[in-house]
Amino acid sequence: MERAWRRSDEGQGARVGLVRDRWLSLASPLVLILLWEALSTARILDPRLFSAPSAVGLALVQLLQSGELLRHTSITIARVLVGFVAGAVPAVLLGMLMGIWRPARLAVEPLAAAIYPIPKIALVPLFIVIWGIGETSKIAIIAFSIFFLVLLNTVAGVLAIDPRYFEVGRNLGARRWNLYWTVALPGALPSIMTGMKLGMGFALTVIVGTEFLNPREGVGALIWLSKEAFRIDDMFVGLIVVAVIGWLFSLILDEFDRRIIPWRPAPRSSEPESALQQKARIWWRATRPFSFTASVTPVLLGTVIAAFDGKFDFLLFILTLVGAVAIHAATNMVNDYYDHVKGVDTRDSIGPSGVIQQNLLTPRQVLVGGILLFSLGSAIGMYLTWLSGPFILLLGALSVAAGFFYTAGPAALAYIGLGELTVFLFMGPVMVLGTYYVQTRNADPRALLLSLPVAFLVAAILHANNLRDIDSDRARGKRTLATLIGRHWSQREYLLLLAAAYIVLLALVLLGIAPIWTLLVYLTLPVALNNVQRASADPDARALNLVIRRTANLHARFGQLMIFGFIVAMALSRLTS
């Protein structure tokens, strides 16, 4: 008993320490901001030199609304991305060659070691003399500034690989080219990613400094021109944007690192979870957040299409995104409630969140949570209607109705074989066109056509789910498209949905509706083919559950690459103009 009390006291002490640590981590920046605001207001700090945080926030809003901040930011990001790829890719290839082949290392390493310490910003005048003051010199200095950093890290990574791995490869018949890809690259990846993370910081530093010297466009130009005009508020906004860009690039590279080096263990926190955290985690699980890419992707796509056409409002984008995700989460929760009430979801069901079946939340709590989220989405929709007109009201009302009656009522859409059609329409054309309309006040048919590829894929996610549940749905009287047409034709429909996404996008590119860079989505084609093979080969529900997850990942990657294609086309258009 005494031991149990001791463990209880230790756990309580750990929780108290956790709360204290988190309050300290939150309080320190808040105290700094409040102190800064107070000192500026009291004029202890000269507000002409140290703008108050409230003034900086107001300047940020004004620059966002005018579109000036977006223009400068997008140009800087485009320069960094192009220069980063131009410098990192050849550096990795050459670095691996140097690591494997001693003559290449002996020839290049002294030169790299000599050039690397030179401050890259000191080379900007030379690059301007060679390539002029246009984009070529800016991209070249970024590529050059990170090339040797990534190169040396790659060489170090290859040299750190245990030689026995190369011996095993050679004993198995691997030639130098095979060793290059199967031993050197995987073994050096941790070191390569470290070089790339450091290189991204270098790239951002160099481009901002370069934009100081030729202050026409970019975040560096915004900071310099604000300094020249003594707009200190705008100058601080530029500094904040640089910090945010660096932080976002760091997050992206960390996620990329985690995905391509899955064998590297992630750090785990030993801090105990509080009761509030446990409750929040349960509610978060109830919303099925893993499915949110199905609503985030069309909103991002509609926004980037509008930006491609010259229209973008950051606040409207955030409101649209939050509203769409709220309605999606509400649909998931109401879906779980009614599937439970109708006896479709049980403890043995694979698909739902499981919070009802595991008694983590009561059915009533899940239903009330769904209704509250519908209310949040509707409130945001009413505000967007007030700004944009009745067309958004129509789309919003139809979306809420479709989400609620997807499983509610005696003739629920999911129970009469209309699930795929509903998801296709409302997570494809309705979301993309609605988002585009909020930004542009124009229902352009192009947005409708461009939504079709992601619409086919989101319908494929649901169809894979129904293909998995075909036997259990039949046993419980739930009529889905899969139960109506049978397993054989359902497998064929899954193939058609995936094929349609790629074929339609190709047609849109050929017709000049989508930029050619959106064909980057074809990088996901091997994944699609693998999914089709798995869906056609194994009728086991557990195996098909993997197909559902991979189809959801395919939808997300396809959408991300399509969006990235628009961003690249937009950035190149602005750079050339």
Q: What is the pLDDT of residues 520-553, one digit of tens each?
A: 999 989 888 888 888 777 666 666 777 888 888 8
Report the pLDDT averaged over residues 131-136: 78
Amino acid at 14: A
Work out the pLDDT band at 9, boundaries 50, 70, 90.
Answer: very low
Report the pLDDT averaged over residues 343-352: 61
Report the pLDDT averaged over residues 348-371: 78
More confident residue, 185 or 559: 559
Residue 415: both structure tokens together: 């129970």
Residue with the two structure tokens 């976002």: 248
Q: What is the pLDDT of residue 348?
A: 59
Report the pLDDT averaged over residues 319-347: 83
Provide the mean pLDDT of the chain: 81
Pairwise CA distance, residues 15 & 482, whole Å: 49
Does domain 285-576 fall under CATH 1.20.120? My reply is: no
Report the pLDDT averaged over residues 29-47: 77
On the question of pLDDT at 91 being above 70, the answer is yes
On the question of pLDDT at 248 being above 60, the answer is yes
- Domain(s) labelled CATH 1.10.600 in the chain stretch across 285-576
Percent of the chain with pLDDT over 90: 15
- Domain(s) labelled CATH 1.10.3720.10 in the chain stretch across 61-260
Work out the pLDDT band at 1, boundaries 50, 70, 90.
Answer: very low
Q: Tell me how many degrees the CA angle 203-207-208 measures, rounded to the nearest 5.
A: 120
Q: What is the pLDDT of residue 470?
A: 74
Pairwise CA distance, residues 265 & 260, whole Å: 12
Percent of the chain with pLDDT over 70: 88
Q: What is the pLDDT of residue 4?
A: 45
* Of 374, 381, 379, 368, residue with least CA distance to 402: 374
On the question of pLDDT at 17 being above 80, the answer is no
Least confident of 42-51, 375-384, 396-405: 42-51
Q: What is the pLDDT of residue 469?
A: 72
Instruction: Give this prediction's pTM.
Output: 0.68
Report the pLDDT averaged over residues 203-227: 83
pLDDT digits (tens, 9 = 90+) for 145-197: 889 889 889 888 888 888 888 788 777 777 766 777 777 778 888 888 888 88
Q: Which residues contact residue 283 at a Cβ distance below 8 angstroms, ignoring those fewer than 6 apart?
A: 361, 369
CATH numeric code, 61-260: 1.10.3720.10
Q: What is the pLDDT of residue 5?
A: 40
Work out the pLDDT band at 26, boundaries 50, 70, 90.
Answer: low
Is residue 338 a contact partner of residue 382, using CB atoms and an 8 Å limit? no
More confident residue, 530 or 408: 530
On the question of pLDDT at 280 being above 90, the answer is no
Burial label, 282 (beta-carbon count in 10 A; 0-12, 13-18, 19+): middle
Report the pLDDT averaged over residues 103-130: 82
Work out the pLDDT band at 509, boundaries 50, 70, 90.
Answer: very high
Residue with the two structure tokens 């002490």: 13
Q: What is the pLDDT of residue 219?
A: 85
Report the pLDDT averaged over residues 235-263: 82
* Rounded CA Rg of the chain: 27
Q: What is the pLDDT of residue 510?
A: 94
Q: Which residues contact residue 432 at a Cβ distance below 8 angstroms, ignoring those fewer than 6 apart?
A: 298, 299, 301, 302, 305, 447, 448, 450, 451, 454
Work out the pLDDT band at 266, boundaries 50, 70, 90.
Answer: low
On the question of pLDDT at 19 being above 60, the answer is no
Which residues are registered as beta bridge partners of 479?
Answer: 416
Amino acid at 117: P
Pairwise CA distance, residues 226 & 229, whole Å: 5
* Of 356, 359, 484, residue with least CA distance to 414: 484
> Taking the CA of residue 552 as centre, how many other CA atoms within 13 Å lie in the half-sphere pointing to its CB?
16
Residue 485: both structure tokens together: 């047409």
Report the pLDDT averaged over residues 195-200: 88
Report the pLDDT averaged over residues 548-572: 86
Q: What is the pLDDT of residue 53?
A: 81
Pairwise CA distance, residues 530 & 546, whole Å: 11
Work out the pLDDT band at 224, boundaries 50, 70, 90.
Answer: confident
Q: What is the pLDDT of residue 10?
A: 47
> Taking the CA of residue 428 as centre, how many other CA atoms within 13 Å lie in the half-sphere pointing to its CB?
23
Q: What is the pLDDT of residue 7?
A: 45
H/E segment holding residue 64: helix 53-66
On the question of pLDDT at 14 being above 70, the answer is no
